[in-house]
Chains A and B, each alone.
Chain A
Amino acid sequence: MTTCIAVPLFGDEVSPRFCYAERVLVISFVKGREVWRQVVSLGSPWIPGRMARLSAMGVRTILCGAFNRAYLPAAGRLGMQVITGISGNAEEAVAWFRRGHLTSTRARQRRG
């Protein structure tokens, strides 16, 4: 099973806000094994454009600090879940996600 996640970056950390991250780490996992990764530049902070771009890359989960609530339904319509409330090192966040410790309801536990 393929899972593709996107982690907007702020330096090495998870970006505090999705729309203002200039770079996004996109990783694809097949049966839990990482098969592909790339850091992409998204440019404009226009959220629909960013989501469409990530959706076109197959992204189904976004891990970030915060995400404008108004666009959550649109993300859902694109088949993407957004896990917010995450801070700290991006690689650690990815590792937590792979271990199944990051879900929408548990994301807040990663804070701090």
Chain B
Amino acid sequence: MLHPRQPITPLGPPHAALHSLIFDSIREGVFTVDQNFRVTSFNAEAERITGFSRREAIGRKCYEVFRASICQGDCALRETLATGRPLRDVRVDVLNAQMLPVPIAVSTAVLRSGGRLLGGVEIFRDISDIECLRNELKGQGAFENIVGASPAMKELFQLLPDVAASDAPVLIEGPSGTGKELVASAIHRLSTRREKPFLRVNCGALPDSLLESELFGYQRGAFTDARRDKPGHFVLADGGSILLDEIGDITPAFQLKLLRVLQEGEVQPLGGTRPAKVDVRVLAATNRDLATMVAEGKFRQDLYYRIRVVPILLVALAERREDIPLLVEHFVRLQALKTGKPIREVAPRAMDALCAYDYPGNVRELQNLIERAFVLCHGRRIELGHLPADILRAKKREPPNVGSLAGRRKPSERAVLQAMPMVARELTTVDPVAQKLRDALAAHGWSRTATARSLGIGRNTLWRRMREHGLVSASQGGRTGTRIA
């Protein structure tokens, strides 16, 4: 039954108290700002999420309280006040009072009274739990097509978005078949360069002259068969990323040529007279121990430090055995899709054998084993008999306790490095000579004349050393410097 509408009475002081009660009972954080972005109200949930009390927040600029990822760029509230349009569920992160990031989803609207603009209102909710679940799901097995749930792989998954966000050169080291190209590709896909080309060059497969023309291109007439201009991979990858695979295999002569390109940020095609500026992020990969090669004088130290700003070390599959069942499942799924065979699982004894094997060829070898098993298997399940003899011999050894540390070998130095926190690993890349130069330059206010005098060397020598150790753009405050990252 419908009742006649009650007359509306204006709000008095008791209603204001009621409003305040409701305001503080809402499960979303709510705050309002005036037209100058000064906080005018701040509810209890906003206090909980930010860690700032109402008393601390009111009267301050909202960006001083929230320190959100969009405050200094695409501020949602600023956009709403400028356009009058509300925004919904913009995902940002704020730094709370303890300076820890908190992911939130933000909605904004304009506050008006009688047609007069008063400011804006922002409603936000803490989405830490959702993000946590999302990360858990990621942690369950794959990230950007890279499969693994071992501590080493989780560390890698955590590291990749940060590495991708930077433009620093990356050196991916690891044995053959560990997925170096996959990691390089993931870095490119996660980066702002994702819409631009990602090119891979196998430096080990080509002689110097061919590698030079592949990377830097050539101009018509540069040599007998050069009938027309051919752009090199650096030019083709402009704006994107290039993977220099097997970089440990290039000759000393080519190392010097490559170093020059990386330092200058420009390439000169064979037979050309004018160098071309390029903006390419350089990712390098190798299965060789470059540090030892540097110590033995087989790889240029300056090039090593130039390409190894961010080192990523991939461990052998035998050092992360807990990932083997996940990888097996992944490859079985892939092969089933590819071949159309109804194979869905691996028999426990076959899985034991796969987990006990050492995989000198790493993940690639495991993938090949599954592919082979698919050829031989005519049922729904891969059995022990579908695996090759080497695997069966390894089966005689005790299988490791998958999922725990029991049964694992003592981790290699690489594994230990891989397990180091990302920042710590970053700091291990500090070049002691560069550090000494930096300290001397800093002590003399970056005056090259005074620094050279204090070190007992000439200005030109100092300048050369600064270039060799990547200190030139730093000393010039980013005004110049190479564009090749």
Known contacts A28-B446, A58-B442, A21 near B167 by CB under 8 Å: no
> B99 contacts A69, CB within 8 Å?
yes
Q: A41 within 8 Å of B by Cβ?
A: yes
Distance in angstroms from A60 CB to nearest chain B CB is 8
Chain A hits for B423, CB < 8 A:
48, 70-71, 73-74
Q: B168 within 8 Å of A by Cβ?
A: yes
> A10 contacts B72, CB within 8 Å?
yes
Which residues of chain A (86-112) have a CB below 8 Å from chain B? 87, 111-112
B83-109: contact bitstring with A at CB < 8 Å (1 yes, 0 no)? 000000000000100111100000000
Instruction: Name the contact of A44 in the complex, choosing from B67, B71, B167 (C-beta under 8 A).
Output: B167
Chain B hits for A36, CB < 8 A:
445-446
> B99 contacts A49, CB within 8 Å?
no
Nearest to A26 among chain B residues (CB) is B477
How many residues on the B side are at the interface (Cβ–Cβ under 8 A)?
Answer: 41
Taken together as a complex, chains A and B put the C-alpha atoms of A4 and B338 apart, in Å, by 60
Known contacts A28-B445, A77-B427, A66 near B95 by CB under 8 Å: yes
Question: How many pairs of A and B residues are in contact by the CB < 8 Å rule?
Answer: 111
Which residues of chain B (348-397) have a CB below 8 Å from chain A? none
B291-315: contact bitstring with A at CB < 8 Å (1 yes, 0 no)? 0000000000000000000000000
Taken together as a complex, chains A and B put the C-alpha atoms of A15 and B474 apart, in Å, by 21
Interface residue stretch chosen among B56-64, B143-151, B179-187, B200-208: B56-64
Distance in angstroms from B430 CB to nearest chain A CB is 8
> B446 contacts A69, CB within 8 Å?
no
Distance in angstroms from B76 CB to nearest chain A CB is 14
Taken together as a complex, chains A and B put the C-alpha atoms of A28 and B445 apart, in Å, by 7
Instruction: Name the contact of B426 in the complex, choosing from A26, A30, A45, A74 (C-beta under 8 A).
Output: A74
> A2 contacts B443, CB within 8 Å?
yes
Distance in angstroms from A15 CB to nearest chain B CB is 6
Taken together as a complex, chains A and B put the C-alpha atoms of A35 and B38 apart, in Å, by 36
Chain B hits for A49, CB < 8 A:
166, 168
Nearest to A11 among chain B residues (CB) is B72
Known contacts A46-B162, A46-B166, A68 near B101 by CB under 8 Å: yes
Chain A hits for B69, CB < 8 A:
17, 20, 45
Known contacts A22-B72, A43-B167, A112-B59, A16 near B67 by CB under 8 Å: yes
Taken together as a complex, chains A and B put the C-alpha atoms of A36 and B448 apart, in Å, by 13
Distance in angstroms from B425 CB to nearest chain A CB is 9
Known contacts A38-B477, A74-B427, A16 near B442 by CB under 8 Å: no
Chain A hits for B474, CB < 8 A:
53, 56-57
Taken together as a complex, chains A and B put the C-alpha atoms of A4 and B426 apart, in Å, by 23
Residue from the set B64, B423, B426 with the largest chain A CB neighbour count within 10 Å: B64
Chain A hits for B73, CB < 8 A:
20
Taken together as a complex, chains A and B put the C-alpha atoms of A2 and B443 apart, in Å, by 6
Chain A hits for B59, CB < 8 A:
112
Q: B13 within 8 Å of A by Cβ?
A: no
Distance in angstroms from A19 CB to nearest chain B CB is 8
B145-166: contact bitstring with A at CB < 8 Å (1 yes, 0 no)? 0000000000000000010011
Q: B441 within 8 Å of A by Cβ?
A: yes
Chain A hits for B1, CB < 8 A:
none
Nearest to B97 among chain A residues (CB) is A66
Q: B478 within 8 Å of A by Cβ?
A: yes
Q: B125 within 8 Å of A by Cβ?
A: no
Taken together as a complex, chains A and B put the C-alpha atoms of A28 and B477 apart, in Å, by 13
Nearest to A42 among chain B residues (CB) is B478
Chain B hits for A46, CB < 8 A:
162, 165-166, 168
Taken together as a complex, chains A and B put the C-alpha atoms of A76 and B166 apart, in Å, by 21
Q: B462 within 8 Å of A by Cβ?
A: no
Q: B471 within 8 Å of A by Cβ?
A: yes
Instruction: Name the contact of A57 in the complex, choosing from B95, B162, B444, B477 (C-beta under 8 A).
Output: B477
> B441 contacts A58, CB within 8 Å?
yes
Distance in angstroms from B480 CB to nearest chain A CB is 12
Chain B hits for A16, CB < 8 A:
63-64, 66-67, 71-72
Taken together as a complex, chains A and B put the C-alpha atoms of A46 and B422 apart, in Å, by 12
Known contacts A28-B446, A65-B64, A56 near B100 by CB under 8 Å: no
Chain A hits for B68, CB < 8 A:
17
Taken together as a complex, chains A and B put the C-alpha atoms of A78 and B95 apart, in Å, by 23
Known contacts A16-B72, A58-B441, A58-B446, A65 near B478 by CB under 8 Å: no
Taken together as a complex, chains A and B put the C-alpha atoms of A45 and B71 apart, in Å, by 13
Taken together as a complex, chains A and B put the C-alpha atoms of A87 and B56 apart, in Å, by 13
Q: A61 within 8 Å of B by Cβ?
A: no
Given contacts A66-B67, A84-B99, A112-B60, 16 further A-B contacts (CB under 8 A): A10-B63, A21-B72, A28-B442, A30-B445, A46-B165, A48-B422, A48-B427, A53-B474, A57-B477, A58-B446, A68-B99, A74-B424, A74-B427, A87-B64, A111-B60, A111-B64
Between A and B, 22 residue pairs with Cβ closer than 8 Å are A16-B72, A20-B73, A28-B446, A30-B445, A36-B446, A41-B478, A43-B167, A46-B166, A48-B422, A52-B426, A56-B434, A56-B474, A68-B95, A68-B99, A68-B100, A69-B99, A73-B423, A74-B424, A84-B99, A111-B60, A112-B59, A112-B60
Interface residues in chain B, defined as those with a beta carbon under 8 Å from any beta carbon in chain A? 59-61, 63-64, 66-69, 71-73, 95, 98-101, 162, 165-168, 422-424, 426-427, 434, 438-439, 441-446, 471, 474-475, 477-478
Interface residues in chain A, defined as those with a beta carbon under 8 Å from any beta carbon in chain B? 2, 4, 10, 15-17, 20-22, 26, 28, 30, 35-36, 38-46, 48-49, 52-53, 55-58, 60, 65-71, 73-74, 77-78, 84, 87, 111-112
